C-alpha cells in the first residue's frame, strides 16, 4: 500500500504559510450563474479530470470521499493520489487529494466550489507542492508553469461541464 508523501495533511484547508520548500498555486475562476450543482457533480465524480485534455482517470474510480484513491495519468506519467479531506456545506463544497508514493510531486491540491449570494459559482484551486521525482526537480520553474497550465485546464473543463444542461 502506498503512503502519503508529506506530513502536513490538510495543509490546503489551513490559512497559514506553506511548509518550507513548498510552492503555493492559487487559481480562482467564475463558473457562472446557476452552475453550482452541476459543477459539484462533475467535481466529485471526476468529470472535471476526465474532461481535461491529457488527463485520464479510470471509469471505476469511486466518487471523491476521504480515503478514496485515484490514479491520474498523463501520457506515460502516473500520479497516484488519495482524497484527504472534503467539505460539503450549503454554499461550499469540495475536496483535496494528497500525493502518494510514485507521484512526481509531493503535496496536496484542493478543489472548492462556492455558491455566492447572486447564485453564481466560484471555483478555487489551491495546490501546495514541491517536486518529488528527478524529472520534476529538473524542470525547475518550468514545473510550476506546467502545474499552472493544468490548473487552468481543470478550471476551463469544469466551467464547460457546469454550463452544460
Q: Are 126 and 110 in contact (CB under 8 A)?
A: yes
Residue 82: closest CA among 101, 63, 68, 61: 68
pLDDT at position 2: 65
C-alpha to C-alpha distance for 145 and 26, rounded to whole angstroms: 13
Location of C-alpha cell 479510470: 58
pLDDT at position 80: 96
What's the pLDDT at 10?
94
pTM, two decimals, is 0.95
3-state helix, strand, coil in the chain (%, to 5): 30, 40, 35
At residue 141, the pLDDT reads 87
- What is the pLDDT tens value at each position of the chain, 165 positions in all? 469 999 999 999 998 889 999 999 999 999 999 999 999 999 999 999 999 988 999 989 999 999 999 999 998 999 999 999 999 999 999 999 999 999 999 999 999 999 999 999 999 999 999 999 988 889 888 889 989 999 999 999 999 999 985
Q: What is the pLDDT of residue 164?
A: 81
What CA–CA distance (Å, rounded) separates 36 from 41? Answer: 9
If you count DSSP H runs as helices and E runs as strands, how many of each does the chain have, helices first?
A: 4, 7
Measure the CA dihedral 82/136/50/5, to 10°: 0
Domain boundaries, the chain: 21-163
CA nearest 71: which of 62, 80, 60? Answer: 80
CATH number of 21-163: 3.30.530.20
Backbone angles phi, psi at 87, to 5 degrees: -135, 135
Asked if 72 contacts 57 with a C-beta cutoff of 8 angstroms, the reply is yes
Amino acid at each position: 500500500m502506498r503512503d502519503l508523501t508529506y506530513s502536513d495533511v490538510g495543509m490546503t484547508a489551513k490559512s497559514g504559510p506553506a511548509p518550507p520548500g513548498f510552492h503555493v498555486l492559487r487559481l480562482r475562476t467564475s463558473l457562472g450563474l446557476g452552475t453550482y450543482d452541476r459543477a459539484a457533480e462533475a467535481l466529485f465524480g471526476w468529470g472535471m479530470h476526465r474532461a481535461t485534455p491529457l488527463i485520464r482517470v479510470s471509469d471505476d474510480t469511486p466518487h471523491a470521499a476521504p480515503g478514496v484513491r485515484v490514479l491520474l495519468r498523463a501520457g506515460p506519467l502516473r500520479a497516484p493520489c488519495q482524497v484527504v479531506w472534503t467539505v460539503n456545506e450549503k454554499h461550499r463544497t469540495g475536496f483535496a487529494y494528497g500525493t502518494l508514493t510514485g507521484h512526481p510531486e509531493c503535496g496536496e491540491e484542493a478543489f472548492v466550489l462556492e455558491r455566492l449570494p447572486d447564485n453564481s459559482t466560484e471555483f478555487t484551486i489551491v495546490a501546495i507542492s514541491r517536486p518529488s521525482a528527478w524529472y520534476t526537480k529538473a524542470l525547475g520553474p518550468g514545473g510550476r508553469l506546467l502545474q499552472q497550465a493544468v490548473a487552468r485546464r481543470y478550471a476551463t473543463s469544469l466551467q464547460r461541464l457546469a454550463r452544460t444542461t
